[in-house]
Amino acid sequence: MKIIVLRGNLVAGLAAVERGIGGSANLPILKNVLISAREGGISFTTTNLELAITHEVSGKVLEPGETTCQFGILNSIVKNVTAERITLEKSGKKLLLTTENYEAQIQTQDAKEFPLVPSVSESAKTAVFGVETLTDALQSVIVATQYTDIRPEISGVLFRFHESGVTFVATDSFRLSEYVLASKELAVHGMDAIVPLRTAEELLRIVQGGVKNSSVEITVDTNQVLVKTAGTHIVSRLIDGRFPEYHAIIPKEVKNEATVAREEFMQAIKLTSSFSGRANDIVLAVSDNKKSLELFSSDASLGESRYHIPLKMKGEKFSVSFNWRYLLDGLRIYRGSSITLGVNTPDRPAVVKDPSAPHLTYVVMPIKA
């Protein structure tokens, strides 16, 4: 194998696959990057056995072939050299990296020892999304989940494909976010795919850096998901399990609704949270005249704070406690100027909605007194 690559392309290629690096004492080759050079181009691949990332770059292939070397060493060198052109050549068990004023020899391992990158089955179905649409959907729901060994089925994002489009859902049992994308052009129907959190985060990172107005292909079967963007492919296992039937969590009707300015509400939470306790709790209470919303927090060793913001009220006044971090996450996923907080009782799920975004729903559980 012998290739010549522009430094900028090499930096971009390694950055694209960096999150796929795994590695342990038992499988040190997972700390390696697989470099493949063929007539069709040059690609870099990393894997942690659950997630595999491949990125293709342009360059000149003088001799086709492939090899693997430690990602960290190669990445460090490429980031620090200043030459515009870099030559990579496999010689015996070493990878020779040369520029006009620098050379290095990196120990390699046989490419045959690198784990096989899994593939989706021939019966898998593909859906095509716009980069901006998929970015918006993932940003809106990914905040509501976190990794857990206890309930692996909620350690990811649900892609629920149906005849009228696809619904993205994530929850950590304390809050839930649902994004409904209406589309009859998606060729996948009647299928649920729970994409692991790490894969969803990597997918979001890649589509955020994608070309505007470009598309993303997502192919799913019963066990794997394949994501294709311009130059980058991601293959990941799906979470084996059944996503909870979450519809019962979302209140079908809300008795009390408080509408406030979103930016001011966020600022009020940030200020008030300075005095919250270990549970990150703040109290939201509607005034007696129903014209303002008071945010209150206190800590015996720190003090207390109050913030009043004007509101428009429907229903009766209420007083309820929330984890301020969870509440703030819900406000951040919206873009509109106003937000509506729907509350039934202090021990039932509350709904955060933006009147201008009917496709997006954020549900958060209050903290019980």
Mean pLDDT of the chain: 93
CA pair distance 289, 314, nearest whole angstrom: 12
> Cα-flanking dihedrals φ and ψ of residue 326, to 5°?
-65, -40
Instruction: Give the chain's end-to-end CA distance (angstroms, integer).
Output: 67
**Which residues make Cβ contacts (< 8 Å) with residue 202, sequence separation at least 6?**
19, 20, 51, 53, 234
Residue 213: pLDDT band with limits 50, 70, 90? confident
Separation of alpha carbons 220 and 180, rounded Å: 19
The pLDDT value given to residue 126: 86
Whether residue 364 has pLDDT greater than 80: yes
* Orientation angle between helical segments 131-141 and 197-208, nearest 10 degrees: 140
What the block records as the tokens of 80 is 């620090």
Three-class SS of residue 179?
A: strand
Per-residue pLDDT, averaged over 191-219, amounts to: 88
Q: Return the pLDDT at 369.
A: 66
pLDDT of residue 214 exceeding 90: no
Which residue in this structure is represented by tokens 């720190």? 302
* Parallel, antiparallel or unpaired: strands 41-47 and 51-57: antiparallel
Instruction: Quote the pLDDT of residue 120.
Output: 87
CA atoms within 13 Å, Cβ hemisphere of 316: 7
In order, the DSSP letters of 54-113 are EEEE--EEEE-EEEEEEHHHHHHHHHH---SEEEEEEETTEEEEE-SS-EEEEEEE-GGG
pLDDT tens column, 90-125: 999 999 999 999 999 999 999 999 999 888 888 788
Task: Residue 51: name the closest of 221, 208, 207, 196 by CA.
Answer: 196
Please report the pLDDT score of residue 25 as a whole number. Answer: 61
| 324-332: average pLDDT | 97
Question: How many percent of the chain have pLDDT more than 90?
Answer: 79
How confident is the model at residue 299, as a pLDDT?
A: 87
Query: 2-113 and 250-364 share one CATH topology?
Result: yes
200-219: b or e for each residue (b if 16 or more CB lie within 10 Å)? bebbbebbeebeeeeebebb
Q: DSSP secondary structure string, 264-320? A: HHHHHHHHHGGG--TT-EEEEEE-TTSSEEEEEEEETTTEEEEEEEE-EEES---EE
Segment 128-153, tens digit of pLDDT: 898 999 999 999 999 999 988 889 99
- Cα–Cα distance between 128 and 188 in angstroms, integer? 10
Structure tokens at 95: 């990878």
C-alpha 174, offset from chain centre: 18
pLDDT at 362: 98
> Does 350 have pLDDT greater than 70?
yes
pLDDT higher than 80, residue 360: yes
Reading the block at residue 52, the tokens are: 């595999």
Q: Where are the domains of the chain?
A: 2-113, 125-247, 250-364
Q: Is residue 193 within 8 Å of 153, Cβ to Cβ? A: no
Q: Which residues, other chains included, contact 321 with Cβ-Cβ below 8 Å and sequence gap of 6+?
A: 281, 282, 283, 284, 346, 366, 367, 368, 369
Q: CATH classification of 125-247, choosing from 3.40.50.720, 3.40.1190.20, 3.10.150.10, 3.40.640.10?
A: 3.10.150.10
Q: 141: part of which helix (H) or strand (E)? A: helix 131-141
Report the percentage of the chain scoring pLDDT > 70: 98
pLDDT > 80? residue 209: no
Return the C-alpha torsion angle 144, 145, 150, 152, nearest 10: 130
What pTM does this model have?
A: 0.89
Q: Is 242 exposed, middle or buried (0-12, 13-18, 19+ CB in 10 A)?
A: exposed
Residue 304's alpha-carbon distances to 103, 297, 299, 340, in angstroms, are 62, 6, 6, 26
pLDDT at 187: 66
pLDDT per residue as tens digits for the range 14-73: 999 999 998 666 788 999 999 999 988 999 999 999 999 999 999 999 999 999 999 999
pLDDT tens, position by position, 231-286: 899 999 999 999 999 999 999 999 999 999 999 999 999 999 988 888 899 999 99
CB atoms within 10 A of CB 183: 12
Paired strand residues for 342: 257, 351
According to CATH, the superfamily of the domain at 250-364 is DNA Polymerase III, subunit A, domain 2 (3.10.150.10)
Pick the CATH number of 2-113 from 1.10.3720.10, 3.40.50.300, 3.10.150.10, 3.10.310.10: 3.10.150.10
Mean pLDDT for 351-369 is 94
